[in-house]
Amino acid sequence: MMLKQNKNKIIIALIFILILIIAFYGSKIPIVNKIPIFTKKHEHTYKPVLDEQGDVKYWTCTMHPSLKLKEPGKCPICSMDLVPVKRRGSEKKSTMAKKVEKSDMNQSEGMQGMSGMQGMHGMSGMGSGSKSMGSDSESTFIVSTQRQQMIGVKTQTVSIKSMTKKIRTVGMVELDETKIEYIHTKFSGWIDKVFVDYTFQHVKKGDPLFSIYSPDIVSTQEEYLLALKSKNILGESEFPEIAQGAKSLAESTKRRLKLWDISEDQIRELEITGKVKKSLIIHSPITGYVTFKNAFENMYVEPNTRIYTIADYTTAWVNADIYESDISLVKKGQEAIITVESLPNEIFSGKVTFIWPHLMTKTRTTKARLEFPNPDLKLLPGMYADVELMIPLGEMLTVPKSAVLRTGKQDIVFVDKGEGNMEMRRVELGYEAGDSYEVRRGLKEGEKVVTRANFLIDSESKIQAVVATWGEASDDSGKATSETESHKETQAIKLPQSGQADEPGNSKQSE
């Protein structure tokens, strides 16, 4: 009897404990069911936050575009100010409609729809006011007028103007080859006396250089004197043939003296004096400097012996290097100026007189010969010269150099279309002259291009494009992850519902 009573007490105690357990867990189940699906396990996933107007997608850092935060503030990585990524107008309407419906399913679809948005990003301190433009052209974007003033944007109008290209190159001063004299004799002999006996000695035209003894010259002088006597005696002959023969002999002998470079004055002196000179004096044919000397007393010389070289320095040549790309621009008669290191403040003016018809393969250059007057002998052979050639190009459509971003593969300008609209445009450039480029394609006369702060504008447009692309990829990835985790969470939360015991409709079944 006692055993039966103890058994009943144990059963009653177990039932009481079971009721307490059911009551405890039954009170917890409704609380779990009331938790929103995307709150418990999706705190780490990205959910776009809207401002009062519903136009802010999220906040990000221009240096770390993968960072996406709900609230404005500082970047946790680099401490730069966060900038907002805004929606376009069509997405604002869609988002506001979905917000009114307050449906979990619509919220999930709203996250998917944000993948096509484009946002505004700028450099540190640029803030809002610049956003991607909803245009058919991917190269068009918006930078507000206020933002342009903050970053110092300046523009200039594309115009047609006369261009003169300035080619800068180097050259070397050389002698005028047309004013160099080489002193030889046309007969053999021995030098008796040297009058100009050192190199670079200055001589004037007609100055004696050296005297030479030649047996051929002596015998020819004697023949000429005899021919003159015969001419004087037989010139009055009754026989014309004899008179003409004497005259021809004298003329042929005189012509032979001239062929040996005996001057007319020397021949006249021989005719007057009637005396044969043993030594003949050779005179300088020009005024200049002796650049080569090979004359010594008692030295035997022949017609192929170069005895002196005399150069006129009053005209100087400069052979300037012309690069292959500029050869077609350089023409005979164009003006040129040079400066030399010894006279840095003095400018010498000359002209192009000749262009080499040959390209040097190692340097890919040719030579242009420039001619300069040099009366004061300030330009000396061997000097290096800085050369500037002025090339007139005519009337051309031009754009300032400061407006062009040269990337190597392409040249880009930013066209100001007004009211904050900017367009990135590729252009084809031609000649470069001063502070301008010739524009062959891509711009029209009267268009305005950005000439200052265009690097910031370029960064603005590129960051917009990159962040928009990253945003699309992140939204697609976030949507897929959200759907997967949402499905798992729903299954996990609904599992306890199948075993609920304290719900009004299920209490009897539990019992």
Q: What local confidence, expressed as pLDDT, does residue 465 receive? A: 58
In the structure, what pLDDT confidence band is assigned to residue 459 with cuts at 50, 70 and 90? low
CA 431 to each of CA 180, 227, 276, 394, 410: distance values in angstroms, whole numbers, following the listed order = 40, 74, 72, 11, 15
- Answer whether residue 435 shows pLDDT above 80: yes
pLDDT for 241 equals 76
Least confident of 118-127, 135-144, 257-266: 118-127
Q: What's the mean pLDDT in 368-387?
A: 96
Q: In which order are the strands placed within the sheet that holds 208-213?
A: 279-283, 208-213, 189-194, 300-301
* pLDDT at residue 3, as a whole number: 59
Higher local confidence (pLDDT), 171 or 145: 171
Question: Who has greater pLDDT, 342 or 37?
Answer: 342
pLDDT, greater one: 151 or 181: 181
- Say which residues have a Cβ less than 8 Å from residue 195's Cβ, sequence separation at least 6: 207, 208, 209, 210, 211
The 10s digit of each residue's pLDDT in 15-25 is 878 787 776 66
* Main-chain dihedrals φ then ψ at residue 99, nearest 5 degrees: -65, -35
**pLDDT band at 244, cuts 50/70/90?**
confident
Mean of the per-residue pLDDT values for the chain? 77
* DSSP 8-state assignment for residue 361: T
Mean pLDDT for the stretch of residues 233-246: 72
C-alpha distances in angstroms, 370 versus 121, 143, 179, 317? Answer: 56, 52, 15, 6
CA 200 – CA 303 distance, rounded (Å)? 23
Neighbours of 206 (CB within 10 A): 12
Other CB atoms within a 10 A radius of the CB of residue 200 amount to 10
Of 213, 208, 177, 211, whose CA–CA distance to 285 is shortest? 208
Among 30-34, 113-117, 227-231, 417-421, the least confident range: 113-117
Classify the C-alpha dihedral 317-318-324-329 as positive or negative. negative
Please compute, for residue 291, the number of CA atoms within 13 A of its CA located in the half-sphere on the CB side: 18
Buried b (16+ CB within 10 A) or exposed e, 302-322: eeeeebbbbbbbebbbbbbbb
**CA-based nearest residue to 257, from 172, 186, 154, 337:** 186
> What are the tens digits of pLDDT across the range 182-206?
999 999 999 999 999 999 999 999 9
CB 178 within 8 A of CB 272: no
pLDDT exceeds cutoff 60 at 108: no
More confident residue, 311 or 488: 311
Provide the CA 61 distance to its chain's centre, in angstroms: 33
For residue 504, what pLDDT band results from cuts at 50, 70 and 90?
very low
- Where are the alpha helices (H) located in 199-341, listed in sequence order? 215-234, 240-259, 264-273
Q: What percent of the chain has pLDDT over 70?
A: 70
What does the pLDDT read at residue 335?
A: 93
- Does 485 score more than 60 pLDDT? no
3-state DSSP assignment of residue 28: helix
Helix/strand/coil (H/E/C) assignment for every residue in 256-270: HHHHCCCCHHHHHHH
Q: From CA 326, how far away is CA 324, in angstroms rounded?
A: 5
Helix (H) or strand (E) holding 320: strand 315-323
What's the token pair of residue 310?
């005399």
Average pLDDT for residues 2-12, to the nearest whole number?
Answer: 71
Query: Nearest-CA neighbor of 419 among 217, 42, 146?
Result: 146
Give me the percent of the chain exceeding a pLDDT of 90.
34
Cα–Cα distance for residue pair 326/337, rounded to 1 Å: 17
Least confident of 73-87, 197-211, 300-314, 367-381: 73-87
Token pair of 387 as six digits: 């050369």
Fill in the amino acid letter for 211.
S
Least confident of 61-70, 95-104, 133-142: 95-104
